[in-house]
Amino acid sequence: MPERIETESRKLLGRLREALAADNEGQARLDEVVDLIATSMMTEVCSIYLFRDSETLELCATKGLQAEAVHQTRMRLGEGLVGRTAKSRTVINTADAPAEKGFRYMPETGEERYSSFCGVPIQRLGDAMGVLVVQSKAAREFSADEVYALEIVAMVLAEMTELGAFVGEGAALSARHQQHVMLRGSVAQEGASEGCVFLHEPRVVVTNPISDDPDVELAHLRDGVEKLRKSVDHMLLGARSADADQAEVLEAYRMFANSGSWMRRMEADVSNGLSAEAAVEKEQSLARTRLNQAGDAYLRERLHDLDDLSNRLLRILTGQGADARNDMPENPILVARNIGPGELLEYGKALKGIVLEEGSVGSHAAIVARAWAIPLIINAKGITREALNGDPILVDGDQGIAHLRPDETVHGAFRDKLAMQTRAQERYASIRDLPATTKCGTTISLQMNAGLIADLPSLEGSGAEGVGLFRTELQFLVRNKMPRRAELSALYSRVVKSANGKRVAFRTLDIGSDKVLPYMKPNDEPNPAMGWRAIRVGLDKPGVLRMQLQALLRAADGGPLAVMFPFITQLEEFRAAKAEMDKAIAREKILGHSLPSSLEVGAMLETPSLGFAPDIFFEEVDFISIGGNDLKQFFFAADRENERVRKRYDTLNVSFLSFISQVIDRCNASNTALSFCGEDAGRPVEALCFAALGLRTLSMRPASVGPVKHLLRRVDLDEVKAVMDEAIARGDQSVRRAVADWLVYQV
């Protein structure tokens, strides 16, 4: 235990607490704080600069500089020593400020008379809020103790800023988390919704950064850490028997939870006057700053662990967010840094929208959101920092924009948009039972993609003719252990029954790449999307594939069955997978089980190579489904999860369409049924072009069936084809513009 000494910083914090508790306006509080610090540290100058916007710092209070400069002097992030402190998020401590690189002379403040400068960032959990500065005439560097005291004070200032202590008449600050903020991200699922923020990991609010009694606070901290250690031990015990890899991660957690230096630093901070919660947050802030700067992947992982552990400890100490699910508001809009498909599925369909700070369009969580037709915005930088649980939020999934705490004007415009959407939905509902027959008389079969039992009711509601893709891995992803054959067979049987006689194309397990089963050892592959995944796993370790095939055969219960294998890249893979099916049938026969009345065995075409397979492949396979999500990433060599490269390549690029045309021709030549089940099938313009090329079956998320059908019924495919051919002949890179321009005059 560190020896508790009545340090300067503790005395200072005591005075600070009194000043902050006084019934003052924000500016008066700030003025008093700088006065207090200058007096107690015996410096001529103490100033507080706070961010006016994300790029500009403003002098908000000073003791020692010209009073007229307050709210007048501003500098950009990185400009001058103050700007540098804010940008680097590190302390700048110098005896000769004018000689320092980047020193900026500001005549209005009269600061040329001061030689020493010490700037300490005011930050909270990696979120820069401003800079605390002390200056003196005498040329001296501030001692380590003095810097430490300033850091502690800066920590308290950050907490108080967060709590709105400096807001009010005359203050430069407006309250945080109260104004309207517009965040721009990328579209991952269209649609609009209105609701309240529901944080996946709610931020803990520290309301008492300064302790009343360090002894009590130390006991509180130790008690919290003890509970944390026990909970990690408990998790570890469970994981050891079930999952060696998860246990490995938890071992790292335990190491941090038992770290002597972590504990010592927090104890020292508490001894110096911080509350237990503030001490934890100070450490967490430090870790976040390092996390933002760390390039090394391993180090980043460990810092993430530490961040997570601090969150757990804060929740224990404050009792906040113990059971987030209970706090789900009405019309919840989920806000998270990122989320896996399993966690998302746990929240269920109650969610009205999702806004992620990171995320990617091709991820499985995005696919789940799409299946549920929940608007999803990804890459909305800053959302987890800005949003508080329960904040009103509008999600504009069409533009990729989230409005947090919207004002009345924004709200009004948004409601108009929602009303328009409702009218569109009514239009789609009116054609639900009509076929997708174009003006030229061609009928396109529109099917839906699914992956959960909960998706099946959409079959009726959307007007889809069947399930063109049933992603079986979602069932594996939501569990914490491998399902058994009997469970799977019961589940598939429910799917078949819910489909009510409509065809369901079951895709066998497609794991690997971004779909990592929590209970399977992850492979440390440099390039998982091109690694050991999908049918490759199924063929190399056939136990699960065999179990799944048997479960499917039983679920068919003497009725028809359609099964397809994911990620087939060459003839031999299809033959080997089909041989597994033949073996499964033979086994079922021996066991005396009934066999499907008809069996279709198909392959997903997700790599260019399969398009060039020998003719015999097209003859042997019963049907082919183009998995455009994967096919596109391999065709263009652009990772579907990497937003930066993914967006460069258009599905309506003529090279891609020319490849699809060839596949259509080959399927026509061998009379092989062909469908397209990637996400692009659900985009009306893309669907139109695919149909014009000759695709007759498209499988999409249920919410897309209406819009796609609506468009198809209004066009003549020969005319679309002519527009596309013209664009191709002209040498356009993509036919999108030509088709879109043409559409303006058609519909």
Does residue 678 touch ligand PEP according to CB under 6 A? yes
Nearest residue (CB) to ligand PEP, 155 versus 511: 511
Using CA atoms, how far residue 406 sits from 21, 40, 387, in Å, is 31, 43, 12
Pairing verdict, β 181-184 and 186-189: unpaired
Q: Pseudo-torsion of CA 688, 690, 695, 701, nearest 10°?
A: -70
Question: Helices 26-41 and 144-162, interaxial angle, to 10°?
Answer: 170
Phi, psi of 12 (to 5 degrees): -65, -45
Q: How far apart are CA 271 and CA 362, in angstroms?
A: 49
Start-end of H helices in 55-177: 80-88, 144-162
Q: Which does 628 bind (CB under 5 to 8 A by kind): Mg ion, ligand PEP, none?
A: ligand PEP
Stretch that binds ligand PEP, among 372-380, 455-463, 571-579, 626-634 (CB under 6 A): 626-634
- Minimum CB–partner distance for residue 630 and Mg ion (Å): 4
Question: Using CB under 6 A, which of 26, 332, 512, 627 touches ligand PEP?
Answer: 627
Decide if 562 contacts 523 (C-beta within 8 A). no
Q: Kindly write down the DSSP assignment for every residue of 367-391, as one continuous string.
A: HHHHHTT--EEE--TTHHHH--TT-
List of residues 6+ apart from 474 with CB closer than 8 A: 341, 345, 364, 368, 451, 452
HSE of 60 in the Cβ direction (CA atoms, 13 Å)? 30
Does residue 58 touch ligand PEP according to CB under 6 A? no
x/- letters, 548..587, toward Mg ion (CB under 5 A): ----------------------------------------
- Minimum CB–partner distance for residue 679 and Mg ion (Å): 10
Stretch that binds ligand PEP, among 177-185, 337-345, 395-403, 621-629 (CB under 6 A): 621-629
Q: Which does 209 bind (CB under 5 to 8 A by kind): Mg ion, ligand PEP, none?
A: none
Pairing verdict, β 561-568 and 127-136: unpaired
Decide if 228 contacts 257 (C-beta within 8 A). yes
Query: Within the chain, what is the greatest distance between any pair of CA atoms?
Result: 97
> How many Å separate Cα 567 from the centre of its chain?
26
x/- letters, 509..538, toward ligand PEP (CB under 6 A): -x----------------------------
Nearest residue (CB) to ligand PEP, 64 versus 678: 678
> How many Å separate Cα 367 from the centre of its chain?
13
Q: How far apart are CA 75 and CA 52, in angstroms?
A: 10
Q: Which does 678 bind (CB under 5 to 8 A by kind): ligand PEP, Mg ion, none?
A: ligand PEP
Stretch that binds ligand PEP, among 48-56, 187-195, 421-429, 622-630 (CB under 6 A): 622-630
Nearest residue (CB) to Mg ion, 61 versus 534: 534
Q: Is 104 helix (H, G, I), strand (E, B) or coil?
A: coil
Does residue 606 touch ligand PEP according to CB under 6 A? yes
Q: How far apart are CA 282 and CA 613, in angstroms?
A: 60
Decide if 16 contacts 155 (C-beta within 8 A). no
Nearest residue (CB) to ligand PEP, 402 versus 495: 495
- Minimum CB–partner distance for residue 627 and ligand PEP (Å): 3
Stretch that binds ligand PEP, among 23-31, 623-631, 688-696, 733-741 (CB under 6 A): 623-631
Nearest residue (CB) to Mg ion, 288 versus 471: 471
List of residues 6+ apart from 58 with CB closer than 8 A: 49, 50, 51, 52, 71, 73, 74, 172
Question: Using CB under 6 A, which of 628, 682, 706, 707 touches ligand PEP?
Answer: 628
Decide if 192 contacts 396 (C-beta within 8 A). yes
Nearest residue (CB) to ligand PEP, 66 versus 629: 629
Tokens of 500: 């009510």
Question: Binders of ligand PEP: how many residues, by CB under 6 A?
Answer: 10
- Minimum CB–partner distance for residue 23 and ligand PEP (Å): 59
x/- letters, 269..308, toward ligand PEP (CB under 6 A): ----------------------------------------
Nearest residue (CB) to ligand PEP, 103 versus 649: 649
- Minimum CB–partner distance for residue 473 and ligand PEP (Å): 8
Does residue 602 touch Mg ion according to CB under 5 A? no
Question: Using CB under 5 A, which of 130, 627, 682, 702 touches Mg ion?
Answer: 627
Does residue 677 touch ligand PEP according to CB under 6 A? yes
Q: Which does 709 bind (CB under 5 to 8 A by kind): Mg ion, ligand PEP, none?
A: none
Q: Which does 217 bind (CB under 5 to 8 A by kind): Mg ion, ligand PEP, none?
A: none
Start-end of H helices in 463-570: 473-477, 485-499, 535-540, 542-556
x/- letters, 462..481, toward ligand PEP (CB under 6 A): -------x-x----------
Beta bridge mates, 47 = 62, 133
Question: Using CB under 5 A, which of 396, 630, 679, 686 touches Mg ion?
Answer: 630
Does residue 602 touch ligand PEP according to CB under 6 A? no
HSE of 654 in the Cβ direction (CA atoms, 13 Å)? 17
Pairing verdict, β 186-189 and 45-53: unpaired
Nearest residue (CB) to ligand PEP, 225 versus 631: 631
Does residue 646 touch ligand PEP according to CB under 6 A? no
- Minimum CB–partner distance for residue 361 and ligand PEP (Å): 11
Residues that bind ligand PEP (CB under 6 A): 469, 471, 510, 606, 627-630, 677-678
Residues that bind Mg ion (CB under 5 A): 606, 627, 630
